[in-house]
Amino acid sequence: MEKICFKTAKGPAAVGPYSTATIYGDTIYLSGMIGIDPAVQKPVEGDTLAQAKQAFANIETVLGELGATMDDVLKTTVYLTDIGEFAAVNQLYAEAFAPNFPARTCVEVAKLPMGLSIEVECIARVRK
């Protein structure tokens, strides 16, 4: 099998030296998505919920470029700078991934890129 490195054309540009996703076999490894508006390549204004909504939209956009959907997500890792935001983010998460929720890890971290408060990475299946 060959490793395929993918750079998005419709989602937010990488803020460092990495691919938007790596595809290996039947699996998509999506880099962490943050609340960047791809139209202007800047963080969305607002709180953690506004950032989460944009991060989930970015995930959906990039998966769509790869021919996958939110239903193809197998596992997520959610990074929050304030675990106190968990319940509110959880409601948006439920809407984004319903009805077939992927496995998930959620952890609190000290800081995230660009001073944002949430980042979400995913592992998804390649849709055949």
Is 122 among the residues known to form the active site?
no
- Structure-block tokens of residue 37: 């508006």
CA-wise closest residue to 56 among 81, 23, 30, 82: 30
Q: Strand, helix or coil at 122?
A: strand
CA distances, 23 to each of 16, 99, 115 (Å): 19, 25, 29
- Structure-block tokens of residue 117: 């408060």
Beta bridge partners of 3: 24
Q: Are strands 73-80 and 103-108 parallel, antiparallel or unpaired?
A: parallel
Catalytic residue among 49, 57, 92, 106: 106
How far apart, in whole angstroms, are the C-alpha atoms of residue 19 and residue 67?
A: 17
Residues serving a catalytic function are 106
